[in-house]
A and B are shown apart, each in its own frame.
Chain A
Amino acid sequence: MVRDTSRQSFLGISSDQILADARVGIVGLCGGGSHVAQQLAHIGIGKFVLCDPDIVENSNLNRMVGACRQDVEDRRSKVDVIAQRVLAINPAATIRKAAGTWQSSANELRQCLAVFGCVDSFQERAQLETMCRRFLIPYFDIGMDVTKSRGGFTISGQVILSMPGFPCMRCMGFITDEILASEAQRYGAVGGKPQVVWPNGVLASTAVGLFISTILPWQYRVETPLYLEYDGNAFRVFPSNRLKIVAGTECRHFSNKDDLGDPFFGRPEFSTTAKA
């Protein structure tokens, strides 16, 4: 059956081909990544790099869209479950599955037009962003948190577009040395963070919309917000105030020439050097 994309024809006459040619990486396939992957499959993205080292667990079923009880019983990997969902939606898609850490499949991510980071830790976010900056790849970060506050709970989250040349997550104050150090101290003692399906859906949809606007500028030129905050109690997504601090500035953390490319390329002293 030929895909009928007439309902999204406003994306442009070349949009079907552009989407089919696009390779997108998704790191983390549970709460956020499972939404992102399936939305991208519906839109018509043709090539996926799916990364997640985990199998589906019972505690994932409250938010991992596409996973079911049988997947838990069969101890299926998250990449297998999501790859199956993607192919059910778009059988023409090609998928590279990385069922280990994303770092072990970083070569596959280098080829992507964009990478979505749907990971839990700031350390991983920082590493993903660094990798994406190194290979001039737009990086879309999503995440949510539930914290106990006076009289109840607060749900918050973010969607950040880290575009090469533009302010990075450090410029925006989202990642700091203090946050990384604090996280490192808590390593191994964090336990399961509270996660629910609907904020992940909001954040994933927002990130997918931002991505599509980036590769298919269907709307009138507007300034793309690089950092959107989510207030899950007020059900609002809004540009972060932190953008005012970095407005009109270039990134000062990834502007050095040594932040770009493969540092070992063409250096015979390293045995793993690739040859052109």
Chain B
Amino acid sequence: MKPIFKIRRAMLARIHADLSRRHAFAAERVGFISCRVAALPGNELAVLAHDYHPVHDDHYEDDPSVGAMLNAAAFREALQYSYRNRAAMFHVHRHEHHGRPRFSRVDVSEARKFVPDFWKVQRALPHGVLVLSHDQMHGLCWLPASRATTPFERYMIVGFPTTSIAEVQGGQGYQ
């Protein structure tokens, strides 16, 4: 299964605006993107971003060893949203540079802990994580049937302009 990620440009701008806000003690902000899903020909899976859910200020833990550490309430809220709205959930944060972003080892090890929890509330949907840079993005998708983790094949940003970036291209920004 080859997942692709689609998001409206206006929503992406809203996410960047939220992630740009300073937090009292956390070094970076994070959020969740709720998505709907559709099967496409050629064994593709479209993950369609519907809404962005910022993490409340008081749902961060003061942990200077990482950029942002969320408390249980933050995950509970995201899990509840997924359960009530039949939403695929994608955790999102940003690395402060331009060009192709990559997950850190901590990003991946933490994601391996919390992403499968979303299958407890929506077992038939994919969930995952996204990391943005100031002009690109990269994401991992946990597929429900195979339980495999795979990077998105493409990222499509719909709006003015509308762009499609293949994961392998690397050098091209979306702004």
Contacts and interface: CB of A to CB of B under 8 A. Distances in A.
Interface of A: 14, 18, 21-22, 107-108, 110-111, 113-114, 134-138, 163-165, 214-217, 224, 257, 260-262, 265-268, 273-276
B159 A265 contact: no
Given A135-B48, A257-B87, A260-B48, A274 B162 contact: no
Contacts of B146: 276
A164 B158 contact: yes
Given A107-B41, A257-B50, A164 B8 contact: yes
B161 to A, nearest CB: 5
Interface in B17-75: 34-42, 44-46, 48, 50-51
A91 B86 CA distance: 44
B50 A265 contact: no
Nearest to B169: A17
Nearest to A268: B124
B93 to A, nearest CB: 23
B50 A214 contact: no
Contacts of B41: 107-108, 110-111
Nearest to A262: B38
Given A21-B164, A215-B161, A215-B162, A136 B156 contact: yes
Nearest to B146: A276
B159 to A, nearest CB: 7
Contacts of B166: 21
A238 B1 CA distance: 45
5 contacts: A165-B159, A260-B50, A261-B36, A275-B124, A276-B1
Nearest to B166: A21
Contacts of B8: 136, 164-165
B33 to A, nearest CB: 12
